[in-house]
């Protein structure tokens, strides 16, 4: 007998919890925890039950691993609190969504850079990195993490911070899912009274030219600027955020972007950061089942620009997202967190709903130029991808910690660091 709320097939509310954003599922049980104290019990229940188990916070992961067929899901969606602790400190539950977090912090003129989607959950993003639209000014989401509480494989709670279990704190910031279930996160938010939020549409005559110029303009931009470029078969558009409240300074910083080839229109407004992450609040029905491939790169040189344009033109991918990293993200040493990629300036992600072989063939020439990878944008969890996500010294350190904190390999669902090619 368990006190945890177990939802099983056949109950009317089961339909609301069986699927996630990127997959339809049919778990035998969903253990919906109501307080952090119930997490050890939910874990024991999942480990006793037959079949696989999954951990779910927002359920908005790109890979489809937060549900399953015939196993158990530990659902943390109700642990969605946002508590202001004073002095810019904020405690978040893993089930809170980033759009909600941004709206709660806006009246305090505070923000935590997260990502471009407000539907994404705190738990998944804060255990891997957090590449957001304030990134070049304020770093990754995990760079603002001050402490966390985690239930490890033995069912025990641990507080992690620079002074409490510091090695586990290091591992949580990039490879968290390999070490346990994080039940709360304490962040130091940044003072962000306002931002200047610009959307640009392009009708590029020659895509490689736009891509190369885009890369150069971004690398040269002041750190207040962070920008994401989205390319499809018939569109190219960008979101550019200036992390400051001076319209004049923003206009100066934006000039090189509005001067890019093929700019066909745009809007710009001074606004609260809370309006930046796109939030739909739509229920999860497995509505987005695309595959993704992703990698990081330092420069978008001619070769890379041509290969990305050819990949799109081949029809082997439906969309490409180019997110800026760099700036403050690269102020941290590679060994500071388990997310170790601290010299690259761009994250490039291809998205496909077509056949896998066609997608793989289209991606390979781009992949060949990649230098590392952010695991949250990747749907393929092979041993090779684990090596791309974690450089050798990071992986070695993570594996040692795995032996200590999860010797029986309970947490293997998300980029299992024990896998070897
Ligand atoms: C439309 C869209 C846009 C995105 N944009 C960005 C972006 O701009 N920047 C960015 O960085 N990311 C972005 N992401 C990726 C996103 O950050 C990750 O997919 C993240 O894992 C989603 O978090 P979640 O809590 O909703 O995940 P879930 O689907 O709930 O969980 C995914 C996996 O994360 C692990 N996990 C979740 N919660 C915990 C926990 N509490 N403790 C330990 N492990 C846990 C588990 O392995 C789980 O299966 C985007 C995703 C989507 C779908």
Left if phi > 0, otherwise alpha if psi is -120 to 50, otherwise beta: which for 10?
left
Q: Which atom of ligand 1 is nearest to the CA of 140?
A: 11
Q: Which residues of 306-344 are buried (b: 16+ CB within 10 A; e: fewer)?
A: bbbbebbeeebbbbbbbbbbbbbbbebeeeebbbbbbeb
- Does this model's pTM top 0.85? My answer is yes
Of 279, 195, 263, 192, whose CA–CA distance to 229 is shortest? 263
Q: What is the pLDDT of residue 65?
A: 93
Laid out side by side, the sheet with 89-92 consists of 82-86, 89-92, 181-188, 145-151, 157-161
| Structural domain boundaries in the chain | 14-75, 82-191
Q: What is the pLDDT of residue 2?
A: 61
Pocket test for ligand 1, best of 68, 73, 80, 120 (most atoms within 8 A of CB): 120
Ligand 1 pocket residue status of 117, Cβ below 6 Å: yes
Residue 351 Cα to ligand 1 midpoint, Å, equals 16
Q: Whose CA is nearest to atom 18 of ligand 1?
A: 61
Residue by residue, DSSP assigns 393-406 as HHHHHHHHHHHHH-
Q: Which atom of ligand 1 is nearest to the CA of 65?
A: 49
Q: What is the pLDDT of residue 293?
A: 98
Ligand 1 pocket residue status of 124, Cβ below 6 Å: yes
Q: What is the pLDDT of residue 187?
A: 98
Residue 62 Cα to ligand 1 midpoint, Å, equals 7
DSSP-derived letter for residue 229 is: E
Pocket test for ligand 1, best of 125, 149, 323, 374 (most atoms within 8 A of CB): 125
Ligand 1 pocket residue status of 56, Cβ below 6 Å: yes
Compute φ and ψ for 186, nearest 5 degrees: -110, 125
Q: What is the pLDDT of residue 288?
A: 87
Compute φ and ψ for 121, nearest 5 degrees: -85, 155
Q: What is the pLDDT of residue 421?
A: 72
Q: What is the pLDDT of residue 349?
A: 98
In 107-262 the beta strands, taken as DSSP E runs, fall at 110-111, 145-151, 157-161, 181-188, 190-191, 195-202, 225-232, 236-242
Q: Which atom of ligand 1 is nearest to the CA of 62?
A: 19
Instruction: Kindly give the parts of the chain with pLDDT less than 50.
Output: none
pLDDT tens per residue across span 185-217:
999 999 999 999 999 999 988 999 999 999 999
Residue 414 burial (10 A CB sphere; 0-12, 13-18, 19+): buried
Q: Whose CA is nearest to atom 34 of ligand 1?
A: 124
Q: CA 165 to CA 389: how far, in whole Å?
A: 23
Ligand 1 pocket residue status of 204, Cβ below 6 Å: no
CATH topology of domain 82-191: 3.30.465
Residue 164 Cα to ligand 1 midpoint, Å, equals 25
Ligand 1 pocket residue status of 309, Cβ below 6 Å: no
DSSP-derived letter for residue 62 is: S
What tokens were used for 246?
Answer: 């001076």
Q: Say if CB 142 and CB 129 are below 8 A apart.
A: yes
Residue 265 Cα to ligand 1 midpoint, Å, equals 32
Number of neighbours of residue 169 by Cβ within 10 angstroms: 22
Residue 203 Cα to ligand 1 midpoint, Å, equals 32
Q: CA 58 to CA 70: how far, in whole Å?
A: 21
Q: What is the pLDDT of residue 64?
A: 83
């Amino acid at each position: 007998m368990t006190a945890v709320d177990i939802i099983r097939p056949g109950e009317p509310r089961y339909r609301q919890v069986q699927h996630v954003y990127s997959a339809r599922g049919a778990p035998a049980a969903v253990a919906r925890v109501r307080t952090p104290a119930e997490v050890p019990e939910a874990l024991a229940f999942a480990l006793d039950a037959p079949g696989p188990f999954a951990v779910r916070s927002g359920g908005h992961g790109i890979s489809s691993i937060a549900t399953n067929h015939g196993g158990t899901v530990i659902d943390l969606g109700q642990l969605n609190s946002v508590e202001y602790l004073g002095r810019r400190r904020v405690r978040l539950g893993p089930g809170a969504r980033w759009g909600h977090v941004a709206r709660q912090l806006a009246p305090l003129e505070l923000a935590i850079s997260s990502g471009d989607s407000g539907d994404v959950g705190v738990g998944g993003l804060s255990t891997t990195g957090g590449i957001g639209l304030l990134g070049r000014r304020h770093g990754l989401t995990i760079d603002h993490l001050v402490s966390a509480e985690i239930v490890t494989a033995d069912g025990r709670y641990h507080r992690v911070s620079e002074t409490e279990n510091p090695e586990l704190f290091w591992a949580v910031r990039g490879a968290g899912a390999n070490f346990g279930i994080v039940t709360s996160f304490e962040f130091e938010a940044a003072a962000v009274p306002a931002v200047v939020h610009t959307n640009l549409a392009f009708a590029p005559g020659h895509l490689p030219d736009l891509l190369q110029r885009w890369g150069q303009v971004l690398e040269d931009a002041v750190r207040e600027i962070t920008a994401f470029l989205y390319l499809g078969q018939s569109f190219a558009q960008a979101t550019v955020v200036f992390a400051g409240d001076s319209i004049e300074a923003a206009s100066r910083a934006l000039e090189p972007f509005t001067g890019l080839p093929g700019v066909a229109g745009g809007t710009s407004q001074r606004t609260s950061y809370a309006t930046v992450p796109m939030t739909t609040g739509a229920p999860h029905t497995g509505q987005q089942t695309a595959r993704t491939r992703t990698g990081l790169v330092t420069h978008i040189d001619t070769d890379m620009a041509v290969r990305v344009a050819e990949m799109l033109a081949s029809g082997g991918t439906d969309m490409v997202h180019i997110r800026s990293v760099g700036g403050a993200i690269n102020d941290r040493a590679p060994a500071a967190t388990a997310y170790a990629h601290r010299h690259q300036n761009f994250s490039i992600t291809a998205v496909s709903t077509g056949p896998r072989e066609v997608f793989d063939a289209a991606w390979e020439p781009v992949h060949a130029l990649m230098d590392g990878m952010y695991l949250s944008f990747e749907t393929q969890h092979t041993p090779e991808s684990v090596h791309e996500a974690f450089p050798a010294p990071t992986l070695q350190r993570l594996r040692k910690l795995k032996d200590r904190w999860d010797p029986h390999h309970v947490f293997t669902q998300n980029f299992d660091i024990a896998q070897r090619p």
